[in-house]
Amino acid sequence: MEPTLGATGEDSSLENYSERKKIQQSQAYHKKSRAAEAPLWPDSCAIGADPCEQITKAIQSYYRRKRTSRQNTETKSSKGPQILKCLSTENVLQFFKKYLTEFEQEEIKGYKKVWYLGQKAKKIQGSKSLSFNSGYDTENGYYRMVIKDHIAYRFEVLEEIGRGAYGQVFKCRDHKTMELVAIKVIRNDKSIHNEAMAEVKILDALSKKDKKNTANILHMKEHFYFRNHLCITFELLGKDLYTVMKENNLQGFSLSQVQHFAKDLLACLQLLRKEGIIHCDLKPENILMSDKNHNHVKVIDFGASCFEEKKRQKCIQTRLYMSPEMLLAKGYSFPIDMWSLGCILAELHTGSPLFDGDNWNDQFGCIMEVLGEPPMELLRGISNKCFCRYVLSADSQGFLKKIVNNNGAVRQPGSKNLASLLKTTDANFLDFIQRCLRFKPEERMTPEEAMQHAWIQGQLHTRKSTPKPCAADNTASGRRTLCQASFYSAVISMPTC
Cα–Cα nearest to 316, from 495, 74, 109, 123: 495
Please write down the HEC assignment for all residues of 390-445. HHECCCCCCCECCEECCCCCEECCCCCCHHHHHCCCCHHHHHHHHHHCCCCHHHCC
Q: Is 21 annotated as a binding residue?
A: no
3 state DSSP class of 319: helix
Q: Widest CA span of the chain, in angstroms?
A: 123
84 near 175, Cβ under 8 Å? Answer: yes
Q: Nearest-5° angle of CA 369, CA 248, CA 256?
A: 70
57 near 87, Cβ under 8 Å? Answer: no
- Residue 167 φ/ψ, nearest 5 degrees: 150, -150
135 near 123, Cβ under 8 Å? Answer: no
Number of CB atoms found within 10 A of residue 318's CB:
24
Q: Nearest-5° angle of CA 469, CA 474, CA 479?
A: 135
Nearest-angstrom CA–CA distance, 313 and 339: 20
Distance between alpha carbon 60 and the CA centroid of its chain, in Å? 29
Q: Which of 281, 301, 337, 362 is catalytic?
A: 281
280 near 305, Cβ under 8 Å? Answer: yes
340 near 323, Cβ under 8 Å? Answer: yes
Distances (CA, A) of 367 to 51, 74, 286, 319, 360: 64, 58, 22, 12, 11
End-to-end CA distance of the chain: 101
Confirm whether 264 is a catalytic residue: no
Nearest-angstrom CA–CA distance, 399 and 394: 9
382 near 330, Cβ under 8 Å? Answer: yes
Q: Nearest-5° angle of CA 195, CA 197, CA 198?
A: 65
Q: Which residues contact 337 (CB under 8 A, 6 or more apart)?
A: 269, 272, 278, 279, 280, 282
DSSP code, position 215: S
- Residue 58 φ/ψ, nearest 5 degrees: -65, -40
Which H or E run contains 162? Answer: strand 155-164
Q: Which residues contact 464 (CB under 8 A, 6 or more apart)?
A: 293
Helix axes 255-274, 190-209, angle to 10 degrees: 100
- Annotated catalytic sites, by residue? 281
Residues belonging to the binding site for ATP are 184
Residues belonging to the binding site are 184
